[in-house]
Chains A and B, each alone.
Chain A
Amino acid sequence: MTAFFQSLGLPFEAAWLIATIAGILLIALPLMLSVAMVIYVDRKIWAAMALRRGPNVVGPLGLLQSFADGLKVFLQETIVPTAANKGIFLIGPIVTFTVTLLAWAVVPFNSGAILADINVGLLYVLAISSLGVYGTIMAGWASNSKYPFFSAMRASAQMISYEVSIGFILLCVVLWADSFNLGTIVEAQKGHVFGILNGFGFNPLLFPMWVLFLISGLAETQRAPFDLTEAESELVAGYQTEYSSMSFALFWLGEYGNVLLMCALNATLFWGGYLPPLDWAPLYVVPGIIWFLLKTAFFFFVFSWVKATVPRYRYDQLMRLGWKVFLPMSLLFVFMVSGYLMLTRYGA
């Protein structure tokens, strides 16, 4: 895009600046719109599985429900509790929201359609997603109230526990793709199994890793059944108990943005990203971004499905699953994948 603005007669710096800002807006604005729609979809799916109607009043089929909710919180008063640590209390939701947007910079939407095509793309995603917990911790501590504080404690322990196994799972993908760049990882999945199936997920050695990644993703985004940070039966509303108005909405947007990112990562790392599922010429007629969005939407459905059907874990069970099941399993698979690659690709 920089080249396009340079062809309009702008110097390089100005063209780069405009192109980057345009790229950021091209990702952030549709993302916000899709977060609004995805909240609606989540509520509809959840309602359908509970044999309810779900939102159906505002707009046709209730499609505008999220916008009505957004307008409502926008018009509310922002309340800062007197005992709260004011600065950090207000920074918390901003951190959550910003971090959500940041990670999308390295997601490949189509072949070459990637805002920051950096060598360490996957590490960047890991680094940014590990920042996400700060919003929760800051909110929980600054609220100066016991339930948000418990929630912040839970969130930090939970995030650290599951990031360890996510790191090992991603290592398997990186070993196979031979790169940390997300675009290269997608290209490496072309015809991965039998030269016809696009996606690491079809590989029997990597499929279990995908299952672990999906579950760790649920824990990492604090979705049900791992939503202990906002377990309403124990902690009122968790870290967001004291929040109102837009500061509350930012948490909401950030949370769903993170869920969408996890879905996009599932699609990108294991199921071929913008590639069609089969390496068959007619399927390439459909633009890559459609495949990417379809896969992301499918994984979002899986996330909603889990939320609607699986009961919440107890905290010690969550910790046990992370440290005693996922960590050894992902470590074992790192050994198996690297051993297999050593024998086949690198000739013992």
Chain B
Amino acid sequence: MIQLLAFYLFAALVVASGLLVILARNPVHSVLWLILAFFNAAGLMILIGAEFIAMLLVIVYVGAVAVLFLFVVMMLDIDFATLRAGLVKNFPLGLSIALILLAELVLGLGANSAGVLHLGVADGNAAPLAGAPNIEAIGAVLYSRYLFLFEAAGVVLLVAMIGAIVLTHRERGGIKPQNISKQVARRPEEATVNTQPEVGKGVSL
């Protein structure tokens, strides 16, 4: 009973906030609705017993990705007139994407009613671990069966990260960055020079 109520609450909120993401006039409101949608999706995950995925969804998407989204969107100079100007031009494209998604949904539902596909259970290797918590079950599969794919994904992310750094990093001349270890290592003896310059003669330090 409680689960059923919670399910309908979360599901209705996901759909409603998803709608509001595209209907909201203000991009910042859109991002905030998107965050609400993520959050309720995490609630749905908890209901089906995938608490680890739910927490990851909140930590990664709500806690990091959406913050960066918000960060960027808040700094935009929003001009509402130009925002709406592209509507007529982009309408056919949007409509075709919507139709494709609808077709996929219908296909998926049709395939599901024709008989559920049992992915991963066919050879009996990946049967769910009975009684093990989410994290252990995922870890057991990820670090044994999908170890290569997992590590390959890690390498891809590393390359992407280094690429982003290399592309955006540039050395600028004429700035004096703070070198903290050098500052800490400075002693009075070497930092100060005692000179007695003659009158009218400068001193170079």
CB within 8 Å of B: which residues of A? 13, 16-17, 85, 88, 118-120, 123-124, 126-128, 130-131, 133-134, 137-138, 141, 149, 152-153, 156-157, 159-160, 163, 180, 316-317, 320
Contact = CB atoms under 8 A, between A and B. Distances in A.
Contacts of A137: 67, 70, 74
B68 interface: yes
9 contacts: A13-B2, A85-B26, A119-B51, A123-B55, A127-B55, A127-B58, A130-B59, A133-B67, A160-B68
B74 A127 contact: no
B52 interface: yes
Interface of B: 1-2, 26, 28-29, 32, 35, 51-52, 55-56, 58-59, 62-64, 67-68, 70-71, 74-75, 133-135, 178, 180
A152 B70 CA distance: 11
Given A119-B135, A130-B62, 18 more contacts: A16-B2, A17-B2, A85-B26, A85-B28, A120-B134, A120-B135, A124-B55, A130-B59, A130-B67, A131-B63, A134-B67, A138-B32, A141-B28, A153-B74, A153-B75, A160-B67, A316-B178, A317-B180
A213 to B, nearest CB: 17
Contacts of B74: 137, 141, 149, 152-153
Contacts of B56: 123
Nearest to B56: A123
A136 B35 CA distance: 15
Contact of B59 (A17, A126, A134): A126
The 9 closest A-B pairs by CB, nearest first: A130-B63, A127-B58, A123-B55, A119-B133, A127-B59, A120-B55, A120-B51, A156-B67, A127-B55
Nearest to B26: A85
The interface centre, meaning the residue of B58, B63, B135 with most chain A CB atoms within 10 A of its CB, is: B63
A130 B74 CA distance: 19
Given A130-B62, A131-B63, A180-B135, A156 B55 contact: no
A17 B6 CA distance: 13
A88 B70 CA distance: 13
Nearest to B180: A320
A201 B103 CA distance: 57
Contacts of A120: 51-52, 55, 134-135
Contacts of A119: 51-52, 133-135
Contacts of A149: 74
Contacts of B2: 13, 16-17
B64 A127 contact: no
B63 A127 contact: yes
B1 A123 contact: no
Nearest to A314: B178
Nearest to B52: A120
A131 B134 contact: no
A118 B51 contact: yes
Given A316-B178, A320-B180, A156 B71 contact: yes
B32 A123 contact: no
